[in-house]
Each structure stands twice: as C-alpha cells, then as structure tokens.
Structure 1
Amino acid sequence: MPGLTLNRHTPDEARKITPELTAVYAEVYDVPPYVGDPFFSVEVFEQRLTAAFDMKGFEVVTARLATGALVGYVHGVTLTRDRAWWISVEDILPDDAKRAADRGGIFWLRELMVLPEHGNQGIGRALHDEMVKGRSESWTALTCITDNEPARSAYPRWGYEVVPRQIKHAEESPVYDPMLLGPQSDR
C-alpha cells in the first residue's frame, strides 16, 4: 500500500507506544461479540501485552500511514513448549514442529490487528509477512478464534495448517483453532 511504513519494535520501544497499541486494540475489539466480554477488555489486553514484553523474543511490527497514524500491528514471541495451548495439542503436532520447538524455532504470533477503516487493503498480510520474514524461527504458530472471520479463512490461504483440535487459552477465553505455518523457502 503506498504511503504505508512498517517498523519493527523491541520490547523497550513497544513500551513507549503502548498507549497507541492499546488504542488500536480498543477500536478493533469494540464490536460484537467482543464488546462487553471481560476477556477482551482493554485493561485485560494491556495486561497481556505488557506481560509479553518480558517474554523471550518479543517483537512488534507496526503499520503507519504517511501522516504517522498507526493503522495496525502484529506482535509475538518465541513459543516455548510450556505454553498451555502447545501442551494441549503437542500429541498431534508434526514431529518436525516438535523438533523445532525443542530448538526454540517456533514464533508465536500473538496478535494481528488492523483498524476497521483500513481493512481489506492488504495491511494485515503485509504486517504478517514483514514479521515472519524477519524472525529467526523457522515455524510460525498462532491461534484464531473459531468464528473470527475473515481472519479464520485468511490464515489457511496464507499457508497455515489448522491443527485438528480446538483449544482455549484460559477458562474464560473463547475457543480457538491452533494453526502452524511450516518453514518457507522464501523467508
């Protein structure tokens, strides 16, 4: 997209733009079925985000217009095998994914969001691709809320394989489809 700038941010840099990141989240999740659900409250999101700053491999990629306005971002960390969702699907994952996890070779894409008025312009895909190509991990993992369209349909088009077991991150969370993107030769 012309005039769009993608930038990578370390945890320290992300801390400085937390209010902007939170504002994007607040707008993206201010729609049914998320609005009013305590799991998706801005306060709970900010707690999850700031906790992620201290996780291994944390990074944010932001998308800004020429005006400097933040229109979307993606963030994630290096996936560790002690994460509850990994444990809940490990028995059905491919052996090469398990070996990659043993080496710290899986990136966990935790959030990808674009402001609604900038949707369907390729910004989400640009953010995703920029993040993934800049990571040292050979695999990417994510979870997508089962009824979160159009994201739920987009990820398989981008090469993700849906793990055939739905999970929850926490008792109060929605149901998710775990997905894996294997090593890509063009990364």
Structure 2
Amino acid sequence: MTGLQLARYDGASAKGMADELVDVYAEVYDVPPYREDPFFSVASYADRLHAAFGMRGFETVTARRNGELVGYVHGVTLPPDRSWWVSLAEQRPDGLLGAAEREDIFWLRELMVRPACARQGVGRRLHDAIIAGRGESVTALTCITDNEPAHGIYLRWGYTIMGRIKHAPESPVYDAMYRPAGRTVAPRPLLPGSSCP
C-alpha cells in the first residue's frame, strides 16, 4: 500500500492518542459476534489498553494514510506469570519456559486495521515493523479459534499453535501461538483496488 506512514510509540507517548486507538477498535469490533459481547465492549477495551500502557516493554506501531489512523499493533514483554501463559502448563514448548523467565517473549496483544483498509497489506506491514524493532527472540499471541481470516493469516505468517486458553471465564476460546523472531514468510499477493483513505 502506497502512502502509508508507520510510527512507533512507547506507553507514555501512546497515551496521547488513546482516543484514536480506541476509535479504531470500536470500528473493527462493531460486527457480530463481538458487537453484543460485553467482553469486547469499547469500555472494556479502553480499560485494557490504558492498563497496557504501563506494562513492561509496551510499544505500538501505527499506520496512517493522509493523516488518518488506519490501523495499529501493540504489545508488551510477556510477564512469565500472566494467567493465560501459565494456564498452558505443559503445552508450552520447553524452550519457551526459559525465554519467558528471561522476559524474552514479545506478547503481541492487538493487531487491527480499519475495514476499509483490510486486505491491502497494512496488517502485515504493522506486524513485521513491530517485531523488527523488538529485542525478544520469540513472539507470542492469542487468537480466537474461529476468528477468520486472522487465525489463518497468523498460521501463514509462521506461527505455531501451543494450545487453547481463555483470557477470562466469559471470554471466547483462543489459540495461543508463537513464532521465533527470525522466522520469515513471504507475503501473499494483495487484492487490487483500495477504498482506504
């Protein structure tokens, strides 16, 4: 996608654009089955986002076109005592246990692109940009098991499923995935045309 400007922010600098970040979330998740699910409410996301700003290693990479925020990704250094991580128990590969204790896993928490700009390579550019700037040797994420096309995209990007988790009793079921930082996968061809601003 031409004319896309990427920028990186830490937690302190990202706070100033929290409303913009939440607005993108509100648009992306304003579809069934998320629209009516309290776990995915805009208020709940805003709370999670503000809590993430203060977590160790928080970073976000934003994508703008013509000044408009069209997508972003954010994550933190995975805390080794994070409940979803601990709940995987023996499903976690042996090598990752030590990496988590060394704080050597990047937890990619959210990756979202406005619907008008989807399927144009924005998500892939955001994903690759944030990982390229990280020092951790492994990236981990969780993805709702039936959230397509995202689930399939992560697998094509080289992620491996470790096991299934729930972030909270009321949350859907997620696949926990990981990928060594150095693994590269050729991007898929993009669809022609663009209604992205």
TM-score by length of 2: 0.91
Residue 140 of structure 1 aligns to a residue whose secondary structure is strand
Q: Aligned residue pairs: how many?
A: 184
Q: 2:137 maps to which residue?
A: 138
Query: Aligned residue for 2:54?
Result: 54
| CA shift in 2, pair 1:23/1:185, >3 Å | closer
CA contact (8 A) 1:109 1:142 kept: yes
CA RMSD after TM alignment: 1.0
Q: Please name the residue that 2:96 is paired with.
A: 97
Show the counterpart of 2:63. Answer: 63
Query: Could you tell me which residue of structure 1 aligns to residue 182 of structure 2?
Result: 184
1:185 CA drift (Å): 6.1
- Rounded to whole Å, the distance in 2 between the matches of 1:49 and 1:15 is 9
CA contact (8 A) 1:57 1:77 kept: yes
| Equivalent position SS for 2:172 | coil
Aligned-partner residue type, residue 69 of structure 2? L
Gaps of 5+ in 2: 185-197
Q: Secondary structure at 2:88's aligned position in 1?
A: helix
Give secondary structure in 2 for the equivalent of 1:17: helix
Match of 2:117 in 1: 118
- What are structure 1's unaligned runs of at least 5 residues? none
Following superposition, the deviation at residue 100 of structure 1 comes to: 1.0
> Is the contact between residue 90 and residue 98 of structure 1 (CA under 8 Å) also seen in structure 2?
no
Rounded Cα–Cα distance in structure 1 between residues aligned with 2:27 and 2:114: 7
Name the CA distance, whole Å, in 1 between partners of 2:154 and 2:111. Answer: 11
SS at match of 2:134: coil
1:73 aligns with 2:72: yes
Query: Which residue identity lines up with residue 169 of structure 2 in the other structure?
Result: E
Name segments (4+ residues, structure 1) moved above 6 Å. none
- C-alpha contact (below 8 Å) 2:166/2:174 kept by paired residues: yes
* Distance across 2 between alignment mates of 1:172 and 1:182: 30
* Residue identity in the other structure for 1:55: M
**Which amino acid is the alignment partner of residue 11 of structure 1?**
G
Could you report, residue by residue, the CA deviation over 1:104-147 in whole angstroms, capped at 9, with x for unpaired residues?
10000000000001000010010000001100111000000111
Structure 1 counterpart of 2:39: 39
Deviation at 1:88, TM superposition (A): 1.0
Equivalents in 1 of 2:97, 2:128: separation in Å? Answer: 23
TM-score by length of 1: 0.96
Q: Deviations over 1:155-183 (max 9, x none)?
A: 011010011x2110001111100000124
Quote the Cα distance in structure 1 between the aligned partners of 2:88 and 2:62: 30
C-alpha contact (below 8 Å) 1:6/1:62 kept by paired residues: yes
Report the CA distance between 1:12 and its aligned residue: 1.3
Instruction: Give the Cα separation in 2 of the matches to 1:46 and 1:68.
Output: 22
